[in-house]
């Protein structure tokens, strides 16, 4: 850790101690579970009173994040969308990570609203419910009614949450720096994950971002009568307060009530999936959390979407690549699927492409032989993600999120209609993408971009060639080589030579008894030579430890 981080460590010492204590508690339970007798397994308890050692490792991770508070809960929810990094089992477990935080007192919520909007709550709303209808780690939601009569909900940020999140993000950056030094965590790219999470978390704390998302969705679906986007009220919203239209309907999670009221569940599933596929493959902006709790059914089979804090964006190229991946699976084209994955993903230098290709071929052979009417898209995406993770290929965050959204979408649709097949509904969108890809307007845009880049190259290339020729003529042309990993080896070599020279010199001084001193039980010997020998032996031992720790002492490439 850098010296510059010491003041930060001291400033957040109590939080550091709390975090490390929780992580240690849930980690040590693993040792108790393996080594201790049955009575020892019940020594450490989770916050729910259950013995930690009797839980699976994935559940212990979830419980630890839950105990650490809002920032770590959000981190777990973000990681649940990255099964390519953390594995399918852990990602599935983290899907259940929901914060059960008591709401702030009504006085605190009202005080923040008045601070943000500059007017008393009684003037802003004709009615404001003191009791929060929902409470999460970052904010809580209150029912209210405007002076003009519209029913709304007011999302209010929790008191002091910005300071807590700032401290935790600082600590997470330090933990990521330490995790980079551990071989078992290095391939997870902890620093990159934390950097991505910091951007996401800062966006979550700004409610104006969620309001802009709602306005964009409302614009994209203007004229569409099958979906209802809550109206936002910008004049009653800030970065810490969000006022939006209240949608009253049947929660999609309430399956019994949906069936009791006579809804056509297959038609609902088809209509809901079409809405999401239009978001993904037509608009390029989609709601990234399609679980049943975020969807309500309004009258006339209209869908109402809630919670726009997490959204995904797709470029045209990403849309086309993803559809090509699905087609490669169903057409049993393993070579094409392997090519697409390695092109869009980040492959490690040690990737065994032959082994990776064989695993993909086995996967395609299994799922490609399934009848399309019975095709398990969610299972196929889960297994493909596990293969990608096993070979340490990292997908772009947007692609990983899209895979997770489609898995969740199929699961939600099958809650309504168990016979529903997502792939059948996706077929028309492939044709739309193909027509759009081959359309004259898109080809013209591609040509314009290519021409602009070619024109820029034509402008800078002659000047660059002239500059290089002038440097060669004047003898100023230099080639700079970056010797990655060479500096530690050179340092060790120099240290070894110094230690050897010091030892040889010191033994000569000892042999000739230069500047001798008399010691009891030893007699006359050169003190200078003795000190030199001790120092050289210490340097040699230090060098041996460094080489042995790196693991390159006797390894043959």
Strands 125-128 and 139-146: antiparallel
pLDDT value at position 554? 52
Q: How far apart are CA 53 and CA 469, in angstroms?
A: 70
3-state helix, strand, coil in the chain (%, to 5): 65, 10, 25
What pLDDT does residue 35 have?
Answer: 45
Of 467, 393, 470, 397, the closest CA to residue 195 belongs to 397
Query: What is the per-residue pLDDT for 11?
Result: 58
Query: From CA 526, how far away is CA 518, in angstroms rounded?
Result: 9
pLDDT in the model for residue 232: 93
Q: Where would I find the H helices in 36-95?
A: 57-68, 70-79, 83-86, 88-94
The SS3 of residue 153 is strand
- Residue 305 pairs in a beta bridge with 295
Q: Please answer whether residues 447 and 455 qualify as being in contact, where contact means their C-beta atoms are separated by less than 8 angstroms.
A: no
Say how far apart CA 123 and CA 119 lie, in whole Å. Answer: 7
How far is the CA of 183 from the CAs of 422, 548, 550, in angstroms?
A: 40, 15, 11
Distance CA 395, CA 192 (A): 13
pLDDT at 152: 94
250-251 and 134-135: which strand pairing?
Answer: unpaired
Which residues make beta-bridge pairs with 398?
none
Transcribe 226-265 into DSSP letters. TEEPPPB-GGG--SSEEEEEPP-SEETT-HHHHHHTT--H
| Catalytic residue, candidates 289, 333, 352, 371 | 289
Q: How big is the CA angle at 352 (ends 348 and 357), to the nearest 5 degrees?
A: 110
Distances (CA, A) of 451 to 454, 460, 461: 5, 14, 15
Active site residue 289: yes
CB 244 within 8 Å of CB 230: yes
The answer, as to whether pTM is greater than 0.95, is: no
Distance of CA 541 to the CA centre of its chain: 42
Helices of type H across 36-69: 57-68
Question: What tens-digit pLDDT sequence spans the chain (557 residues)?
Answer: 444 444 455 456 777 777 777 777 666 545 444 544 554 445 555 555 555 556 677 787 888 888 887 788 888 877 777 777 777 788 888 877 765 567 888 899 999 999 999 999 999 999 999 998 888 778 889 999 999 999 999 999 988 888 888 888 888 888 788 777 776 666 667 787 788 788 878 888 889 999 999 999 999 999 888 899 999 999 999 999 999 999 988 888 777 788 777 777 888 888 888 898 888 888 888 888 777 778 888 887 888 888 888 888 888 788 878 778 877 877 778 888 888 888 888 888 888 888 988 998 888 888 776 766 667 777 888 888 888 888 888 888 788 888 888 888 888 888 778 878 787 787 777 777 777 777 788 788 888 888 888 888 888 888 888 888 888 888 777 776 666 566 677 777 888 888 888 888 888 888 877 777 777 767 777 878 888 888 888 888 888 887 776 655 554 44
The reported pLDDT for the residue numbered 6 is: 45
How far apart are alpha carbons 71 and 170 in whole angstroms? 11
Residues 6+ apart with CB under 8 A from 85: 79, 188, 189, 193, 389, 394, 400
Helices 316-330 + 397-416 axis angle, to 10 = 60
373 Cβ contact partners less than 8 Å away, ≥ 6 residues apart: 421, 424
Q: Answer whether 25's CB lies under 8 Å from 52's CB.
A: yes
DSSP SS3 for 149: coil
- The whole-number pLDDT of residue 51 equals 57
Range 229-232, long-range pairs (CB < 8 A, 24+ positions):
229/305, 230/304, 230/305, 230/306
Q: Can you list the alpha helix ranges (DSSP code H) found in 159-247?
A: 161-179, 183-186, 190-204, 207-220
Query: What is the model's pLDDT at position 246?
Result: 93
Three-state DSSP at 332 gives: coil
């Amino acid at each position: 850790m850098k010296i510059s981080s010491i003041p930060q460590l001291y400033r957040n010492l109590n939080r550091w101690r709390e975090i490390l204590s929780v992580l240690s508690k849930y980690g040590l339970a693993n040792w108790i579970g393996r080594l201790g007798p049955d009575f020892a397994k019940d020594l450490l308890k989770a916050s729910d009173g259950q013995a930690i050692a009797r839980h699976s490792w994935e559940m212990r991770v979830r419980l630890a994040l839950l105990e650490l508070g809002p920032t770590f809960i959000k981190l777990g929810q973000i990681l649940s969308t990255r099964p390519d990094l953390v594995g399918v089992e852990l990602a599935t477990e983290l899907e259940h990570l929901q914060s059960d935080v008591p709401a702030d007192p009504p006085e605190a919520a009202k005080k923040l609203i008045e601070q943000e909007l500059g007017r008393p709550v009684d003037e802003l709303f004709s009615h404001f419910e003191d009791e929060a209808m929902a409470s999460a780690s970052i904010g809580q939601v209150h029912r209210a009614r405007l002076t003009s009569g519209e029913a709304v909900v007011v999302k209010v940020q929790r008191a002091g949450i910005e300071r807590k999140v700032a401290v935790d993000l600082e600590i997470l950056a330090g933990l990521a720096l330490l995790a980079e030094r551990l071989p078992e965590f290095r391939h997870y790219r902890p620093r990159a994950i934390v950097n991505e999470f910091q951007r996401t978390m800062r966006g979550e704390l700004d409610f104006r971002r969620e309001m802009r998302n709602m306005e964009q969705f409302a614009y994209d679906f203007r004229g569409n009568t099958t979906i209802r986007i809550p109206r936002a009220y910008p004049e009653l919203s800030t970065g810490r307060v969000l006022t939006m239209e209240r949608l009253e309907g049947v929660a999609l999670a309430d399956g019994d009530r949906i069936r009791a009221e006579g809804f056509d569940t297959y038609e609902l599933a088809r209509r809901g999936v079409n809405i999401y596929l239009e978001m993904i493959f037509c608009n390029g902006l989609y709601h990234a959390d399609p679980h049943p709790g975020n969807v309500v059914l309004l009258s006339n089979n209209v869908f109402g979407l809630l919670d726009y804090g997490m959204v995904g964006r797709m470029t045209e190229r990403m849309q086309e690549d993803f559809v090509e991946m699905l087609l490669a699976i169903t057409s049993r084209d393993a070579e094409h699927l392997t090519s697409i994955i390695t092109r869009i993903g980040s492959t490690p230098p040690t990737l065994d492409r032959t082994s990776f290709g064989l695993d993909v071929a086995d996967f395609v052979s299994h799922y490609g032989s399934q009848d399309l009417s019975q095709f398990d898209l969610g299972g196929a995406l889960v297994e493909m993600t596990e293969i990608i993770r096993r070979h340490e290929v990292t997908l772009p965050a947007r692609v990983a999120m899209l895979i997770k959204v489609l898995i969740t979408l199929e699961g939600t649709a099958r809650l309504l209609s168990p016979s529903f097949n997502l792939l059948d509904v996706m077929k028309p969108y492939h044709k739309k993408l193909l027509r759009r890809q081959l359309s004259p307007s898109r080809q013209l845009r591609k040509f314009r971009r290519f021409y602009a880049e070619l024109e820029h190259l034509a402008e800078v290339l002659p000047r660059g060639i002239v500059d290089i020729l002038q440097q060669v003529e004047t003898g100023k042309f230099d080639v700079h080589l970056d010797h990655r990993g060479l500096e530690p080896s050179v340092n060790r070599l120099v240290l070894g030579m110094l230690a050897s020279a010091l030892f040889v010199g010191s033994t000569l001084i000892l042999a000739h008894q230069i500047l001798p001193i008399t010691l009891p039980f030893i007699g006359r010997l050169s003190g200078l030579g003795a000190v030199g020998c001790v120092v050289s032996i210490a340097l040699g031992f230090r060098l041996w430890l460094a080489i042995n720790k790196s693991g390159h002492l006797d390894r043959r490439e």
